[in-house]
Amino acid sequence: MKLRNFDREKYVKAVLVLVTSLCMAFMFSVRPVRMAPALTIYGQSAATSTHTQQQLDFIKAENQKAIDEIKLHIQMQNDWFHYKFILVGAVIAFFLNAYKTRLEKDPSFQLIDLLNTDFWCMVLALASLVSIAIDMHVRDSIVVVQQLGLWITYYAEPALLQSPFSPSSSGKFLPWEQFLRQHDSGTSGMHRDDLYGFAFYPHLHFITWVLCISYFLILLNFWRRESKTGPVQQQSFAMGGYLLVQSALLVFTWLAHAGPSALEFKVNPISDHWVQGDIAPVYFLPYWAVVAILNFPKLAARLCGPLKPCKSMP
């Protein structure tokens, strides 16, 4: 049975939101990471060489430097996350003030009329851009923390314990960084668990997801209403904002999953396939491409079908 225009619009938007959200979940996820095998020989050697007290003191000092830097980056992640709340609060306050001002001039003014304008499309585009830029800083800190943790795992802990690194407990004492990366008999630590990378880390980007989804939907509504009758300048601004947001998402997708060649990332959650850090981002670009294509205003408007006129219109 052929769907009515209203039903078609509703289901198409639901599909767009669902597919976009799934792709963004992969873009926002943090994949398991390990050190390149050539750099793990020391930590996995059958017998770690015995160190002098002077050498152990130096290793302890280096280990403390790594711990302090990890603390610094974790604090930076929290600070950037709080900045996004300030950003959203400012956008909401600005929006409510604009709506109140318009409502005082015209009591019949509708909220949807304010949302579906080129002005608010640009406001949400800029808010999404800033939020994505913040996420870039957050992910950069995560990559640095991962490298520091791997160094502690394969060098500092084996040296201080004077015993080889083991990916599983095997009934012996398991140091913290090794515990986070243990993987044995179907059990995995935080940095080796595939599902955990999807369940935990995307919350850091939840506000960005809300802003982007809201922006895509409002841009779609604006484009469907103005693409045939609206000024060309407004359409140009709307399209420019969309390209700006998608460019930022592209850069984020690359930076969020990139790392030095000394690291390897498990890019596929259903197979044990690891690739070097400088190649890993390529595997996530298709998710960005799906988001960019599906939410392209002209294509999304065509998928939704003709815009249904309001009842008040003749």
User: 28-32, 132-136, 166-170, 176-180 — which is least confidently predicted?
Assistant: 166-170
Answer yes or no: is pLDDT of 1 > 70.
no
Cβ count within 10 A of residue 44:
14
Q: Round the average pLDDT of the chain to a whole number and report it.
A: 84
Q: pLDDT band for position 175 (50/70/90)? A: confident
The encoded tokens of residue 162 equal 């004077």
Query: Residue 312 has what pLDDT?
Result: 35
Looking at the chain, the whole-number percentage of residues with pLDDT higher than 70 is 89
Answer yes or no: is pLDDT of 309 > 60.
no
Answer yes or no: is pLDDT of 313 > 60.
no
- Top-confidence range, 95-104, 168-177, 186-195, 274-283: 274-283
pLDDT digits (tens, 9 = 90+) for 115-145: 777 788 888 999 999 999 999 999 999 999 9
Answer yes or no: is pLDDT of 94 > 60.
yes
Residues 6+ apart with CB under 8 A from 208: 28, 84, 128, 131, 132, 134, 135
Answer yes or no: is pLDDT of 176 > 70.
yes
Contact in structure between 243 and 16 (CB atoms under 8 Å): no
197 against 216, higher pLDDT: 216
- CA atoms of 9 and 5, how far apart (whole Å): 6
Backbone angles phi, psi at 185, to 5 degrees: 55, 45
Answer yes or no: is pLDDT of 88 > 90.
no
Cβ count within 10 A of residue 82:
11
Query: Residue 181 has what pLDDT?
Result: 84
**Cβ burial, residue 109 (10 Å; 0-12/13-18/19+):** middle
pLDDT digits (tens, 9 = 90+) for 188-198: 778 888 788 77
Q: pLDDT band for position 263 (50/70/90)? A: very high
Nearest Cα to Cα of residue 39 among 272, 267, 276, 258: 276
Output the pTM of the full model: 0.85
Answer yes or no: is pLDDT of 47 > 60.
no
Query: Residue 145 has what pLDDT?
Result: 92
Contact in structure between 226 and 235 (CB atoms under 8 Å): yes
Query: Residue 314 has what pLDDT?
Result: 31
Q: pLDDT band for position 249 (50/70/90)? A: very high
Answer yes or no: is pLDDT of 250 > 90.
yes
Average pLDDT (69-79) is 91
**DSSP string covering 181-217, please?**
T-EETTEE-TTT-HHHHHHTGGGGGHHHHHHHHHHHH
Q: Which residue has the tokens 């000394």?
A: 262
Answer yes or no: is pLDDT of 44 > 50.
yes
User: 214-223, 231-240, 250-259, 304-313 — which is least confidently predicted?
Assistant: 304-313
Give the DSSP H/E element, type plus range, for residue 257.
none
Residues 6+ apart with CB under 8 A from 196: 188, 190
Query: Residue 19 has what pLDDT?
Result: 96
Q: pLDDT band for position 272 (50/70/90)? A: confident
